Amino acid sequence: MNYSQLVQLYFERSNALQWYWTLYVVVIGGVLAFSSMRQRRSFITTLLVSILYGCFAYKNLGAIHDVTMQRYAVLETIRNYAPKGNEATDVTPVRATLEPTLVAPDYGGIRSFHVTCDVLTIAALWAMERRRSRKIAVPVPV
């Protein structure tokens, strides 16, 4: 692989990571919207949604971990890349400008943020369940 291909691979992994985060946010929105639209209490439904969301969140975090590790590997390869011949002349100015901007966040912070959002989402599900009335409120005609 040459330097250009390595940089392209880094950004492909960055795009994959962004898609996992986008999917994560969409699922949280869907789960909370579903829960907010329900009118009656249902312990079983809330429990099932919580378990399914937890399973999704676990797998999503695993995918984010894998892609983050791939980004680390590609970034390390980019930093250690030694261009040869004419490529050295082409790569040097780009490298000096580009490489300082290629920053992969620490996975520990990513995991902490994801788990915190997971806990808050499940807490919101149960808070909505707790506040939901047992009877359907029927609007009174005026």
Q: What is the pLDDT of residue 135?
A: 53
Banded pLDDT at 21 (limits 50, 70, 90): very high
Q: Is the pTM for the entire model greater than 0.95?
A: no
Q: What confidence score (pLDDT) does residue 141 get?
A: 73
pLDDT (tens digit, 9 = 90+) per residue, 113-130? 999 999 999 999 999 999
Domain boundaries, the chain: 3-131
Q: Is the pLDDT of residue 133 over 70?
A: no
How far from the centroid of its chain's Cα atoms is residue 31's Cα? Answer: 16
72-86: per-residue pLDDT in tens?
999 999 999 888 877
Is the Cα dihedral 33, 35, 39, 45 positive or negative? positive
DSSP class of residue 85? Answer: T
C-alpha 95: how far from its chain's center? Answer: 29
Nearest to 125 by CA among 45, 60, 56: 45
pLDDT band at 90; cut points 50, 70, 90: confident
Quote the DSSP letter at residue 132: S
The count of C-alpha atoms lying within 13 angstroms of the C-alpha of 61, restricted to the half-sphere facing its C-beta, is 18
Of 4-8, 26-30, 47-51, the one with minimum mean pLDDT is 4-8
Handedness of CA 45, 125, 64, 7 (dihedral sign): positive
